[in-house]
Amino acid sequence: MLPQNLGSETNIKLPFSFIIFSLIALVVSQLLLLFNGQMMAGGAFRIPAIWSAAHLMVLGWALLAAMGSMYQLVPVAFLTKIWNEKFGFLQFFVTAIGISSFAATLYLSPKNALIPGILTLLGILMFLFQMMMTLKTQAKPNILTAFVGTALVCLFLTITLGITLICSLKTGAGAGHYQAIFQSHLLLGLTGWFTLLIFGFSYKMVPMFSLSHGFPMIQAKFVYGFYVSGLILTLISFLTGQNILLKLGFFLLLAGFSIFSWHISIIIRKRLKKKLDKPFTFAISAIGFGNLIHLAAFILLWTPSFKDLVGPLVYAYILLWIILSITGYLYKIVPFLWWTYKYSKEIGKTKVPSLKDMMNDKLIVPVLSSFIAAVLIIFCSMAIKSLILFNIGQIVVSITFLIIALSIISVLKK
Amino acid sequence: MDLEEKILEALKSVYDPELNINVVDLGLIYGLGISDDGDVQITMTLTTPGCPLHDSISNGVRQCLEGLEEVKSVDVNVVWQPAWSPDKMTEDGKRALGIW
């Protein structure tokens, strides 16, 4: 039995703090990439400027946007209030200072990144603790709890492996395992944390934004089973060097992702809202890109080109799956937060705008379409090592990111 | 127009801001009780459990009715059983959603 009369609104200043910081980090990361593009286009990813930009984008932008969204969505998805909002604000300051100083030291002096890294770790651990305490109060755990809970475990492992990498870099200890730890760090961060998190919340947000009813949920168990098994097998393959396990792991990841795509298409077909909002359709299209990248990775694994294309594939996975999903949903979440702040006390007394009125809808299609095209250009430039193509793509990506950041911030004027 | 009709008419000014359809046409109002003293009790639901607009919409219903002269107090009770389904919508609501 579901609880009656359950209010679920969070103090919007909490998710907003995370989201505004994430937008600033996004802009800075793009400027760093723009000024260091020549090295990345040449296939050099492991240089301080790229480390700094990558961590600003993945931690500063995607992680903080995900944290902010979780502060808003966890009460919605799990019908429980955030455990302690004051602790949430403290966690925001620790994480924001940690990530800012971490990105700065990665750029200026990577060997001194340990202390800022530990501060970032502390911020993430505080977030994990907050979420653990919040999820503990959920009356009846469900498959969404499994997705989000496993994503949180993967986040913990990712950051622990990241700290291990910095220690290894500083002291030289465990240098023989550096490659395996680095690969595991990437896998757990991208597929374990972000993908499982997006899977979990999609099961709440897709029916909510499309007003779908009467769809089956059995497929979600298969998505979880296949994807998590794939994740575990791939991790074991990194540690043991067993190529067959890597292929099997990639196959299971592909199978899990494909079932997810199929399941979401079933939910969308059961929708009552015939005309979907534009940002939401882009979040849905990100699922197609993610599925395609999983398929490409699995096929290329059987060819000698895999080694050369794994960097571009990871880049495309971050931009076209993770960031496109988060951006699409942010275009829904930010207007909602601002609307709640400004109009929730007015509703019923005076005429208030709808959520759609809070955002300039016309900008979204050209901006996000240009973003997708530019990422594909960058993907090709990395594959064929073309600096000119890379710079063209990166300039367009940076401009679209700036427009995205400004258009999301412009909601605050409504 | 009796008070019940007046209340339902007034509630048509409270919109779900995501769907831009009012709570009456959306079929969110399950029950309406009025005492002789003008105490009103509304039993309502939302389209999805844990809807992030829970507090906003239920407060909107309360604030809307508190503005009516004949109403002394308003009690809004949000329930999840029976769960909302599209067949609870009015024809106007279905048309606004593009179902018809």
Q: How far apart are CA A31 and CA A400, in angstroms?
A: 12
Asked if pLDDT for residue B79 goes beyond 90, the answer is yes
Asked if pLDDT for residue A4 goes beyond 50, the answer is no
Percent of chain A's residues with pLDDT above 90: 58
Question: What integer pLDDT is reported at residue A39 of this predicted model?
Answer: 66
**Cα–Cα distances in Å, from A378 out to A54, A294, B86?**
15, 18, 45
First to last CA, chain A: 39
Residues A287-333 have pLDDT tens digits of: 999 999 999 999 999 999 998 899 999 999 999 999 999 999 999 88
Structurally, chain B folds into a number of domains equal to 1
* Residue B32 domain-assigned (yes or no): yes
Q: Tell me which residue in A72, A76, A347 faces B56 most closely, judged by beta carbons.
A: A347
CB contact under 8 A, B54 and A8: yes
In chain B, residues with a C-beta closer than 8 Å to the C-beta of A340 are 52-53, 56
Contacts A–B by Cβ distance under 8 A: 107
Q: How far apart are CA A255 and CA A227, in angstroms?
A: 7
Structure tokens at A169: 């870099």
In chain B, residues with a C-beta closer than 8 Å to the C-beta of A4 are 77-80
- What angle do helix axes A196-210 and A243-269 make, rounded to 10 degrees? 10
Asked if pLDDT for residue A271 goes beyond 90, the answer is yes
Asked if pLDDT for residue A408 goes beyond 90, the answer is no
| pLDDT-derived band at A390, boundaries 50, 70, 90 | confident
Mutate to test the interface with A, among B24, B59, B68 (most CBs of A within 10 A): B59
Question: What integer pLDDT is reported at residue A342 of this predicted model?
Answer: 87
Structure tokens at B60: 């909107």
* Residue B92 domain-assigned (yes or no): no
Q: Tell me which residue in B18, B51, B59 faces A347 most closely, judged by beta carbons.
A: B59
In three-state secondary structure terms, A193 is: helix
* Residue B20 domain-assigned (yes or no): yes
CB contact under 8 A, A75 and B80: no
CB contact under 8 A, A77 and B61: no
Residues A178-223 have pLDDT tens digits of: 899 999 999 999 999 999 999 999 999 999 999 998 899 999 999 9
Question: What is the mean predicted confidence (pLDDT) over A256-261?
Answer: 98
Asked if pLDDT for residue A373 goes beyond 70, the answer is yes
In chain B, residues with a C-beta closer than 8 Å to the C-beta of A203 are none
Asked if pLDDT for residue A8 goes beyond 60, the answer is no
Q: Tell me which residue in A4, A77, A339 faces B17 most closely, judged by beta carbons.
A: A339
Strands B21-22 and B15-16: antiparallel
Question: What is the mean predicted confidence (pLDDT) over A333-354?
Answer: 87
Find out whether B61 and B78 touch, Cβ atoms under 8 Å. no
Asked if pLDDT for residue B12 goes beyond 50, the answer is yes
CB contact under 8 A, B56 and A208: no
Find out whether A144 and A78 touch, Cβ atoms under 8 Å. yes
Question: What integer pLDDT is reported at residue A386 of this predicted model?
Answer: 87
- d(CA A351, nearest CA chain B) in Å: 8
**Cα–Cα distances in Å, from A209 out to A71, A187, A267, A274, B88?**
18, 30, 11, 11, 19
- d(CA B98, nearest CA chain A) in Å: 6
| H helices present in A137-277, as ranges | 143-171, 178-187, 196-210, 218-240, 243-269
DSSP letter (8 states) at residue B91: H
Q: How far apart are CA A152 and CA A139, in angstroms?
A: 19
Question: What is the mean predicted confidence (pLDDT) over B65-84?
Answer: 93
Residues B22-46 have pLDDT tens digits of: 999 999 999 999 999 999 999 999 9
- What angle do helix axes A324-343 and A196-210 make, rounded to 10 degrees? 50
CB contact under 8 A, A4 and B77: yes
Question: What is the mean predicted confidence (pLDDT) over A384-396?
Answer: 88
Asked if pLDDT for residue A407 goes beyond 80, the answer is yes
Residues 6+ apart with CB under 8 A from A4: B77, B78, B79, B80
CB contact under 8 A, A348 and B50: no
Q: How far apart are CA A41 and CA A385, in angstroms?
A: 5
Question: What integer pLDDT is reported at residue A178 of this predicted model?
Answer: 87
| pLDDT-derived band at A95, boundaries 50, 70, 90 | very high
Give the CATH number for residue B26: 3.30.300.130
Asked if pLDDT for residue A5 goes beyond 60, the answer is no
In chain A, residues with a C-beta closer than 8 Å to the C-beta of B9 are none
| pLDDT-derived band at A1, boundaries 50, 70, 90 | very low
Q: How far apart are CA B58 and CA B64, in angstroms?
A: 10
In chain B, residues with a C-beta closer than 8 Å to the C-beta of A6 are 50, 54, 78
* Residue B95 domain-assigned (yes or no): no
Q: Tell me which residue in A9, A207, A339 faces B48 most closely, judged by beta carbons.
A: A207
Asked if pLDDT for residue A249 goes beyond 70, the answer is yes
DSSP string, A342-367: HHTTTBTTB----GGGGS-HHHHHHH
Burial A22-41 (b: 16+ CB within 10 A, else e): bbbbbbbbbebbeebbeebb
In three-state secondary structure terms, A41 is: helix
In chain B, residues with a C-beta closer than 8 Å to the C-beta of A208 are 47-48, 51
In three-state secondary structure terms, B90 is: coil
Question: What integer pLDDT is reported at residue A3 of this predicted model?
Answer: 39
| pLDDT-derived band at A37, boundaries 50, 70, 90 | low
CB contact under 8 A, A77 and B50: yes
Asked if pLDDT for residue A34 goes beyond 90, the answer is no
Question: What integer pLDDT is reported at residue A44 of this predicted model?
Answer: 62
CB contact under 8 A, A355 and B17: yes
CB contact under 8 A, B14 and A347: yes
CB contact under 8 A, A349 and B63: yes
Residues A110-144 have pLDDT tens digits of: 888 888 988 998 999 999 999 999 998 887 888 99
- d(CA B47, nearest CA chain A) in Å: 8
The β-bridge partners of B42 are B32, B76
* Residue B98 domain-assigned (yes or no): no
* Residue B50 domain-assigned (yes or no): yes
The β-bridge partners of A165 are none
Residues 6+ apart with CB under 8 A from A86: none
Asked if pLDDT for residue A6 goes beyond 60, the answer is no
Residues 6+ apart with CB under 8 A from A292: none
Q: Looking at A122-131, A353-362, B12-21, B36-45, which range is the least confident one?
A: A353-362
| pLDDT-derived band at A2, boundaries 50, 70, 90 | very low
Residues A308-321 have pLDDT tens digits of: 899 999 999 999 99
Between A73 and A252, the higher pLDDT residue: A252
CA nearest B19 in A: which residue?
A354
CA nearest B81 in A: which residue?
A2
Q: Mean pLDDT, chain A, as a whole number? A: 90
Between A369 and A412, the higher pLDDT residue: A369
Q: How far apart are CA A161 and CA B86, in angstroms?
A: 48
Find out whether A30 and A400 touch, Cβ atoms under 8 Å. no
Q: Which domain holds residue B29?
A: 3-85
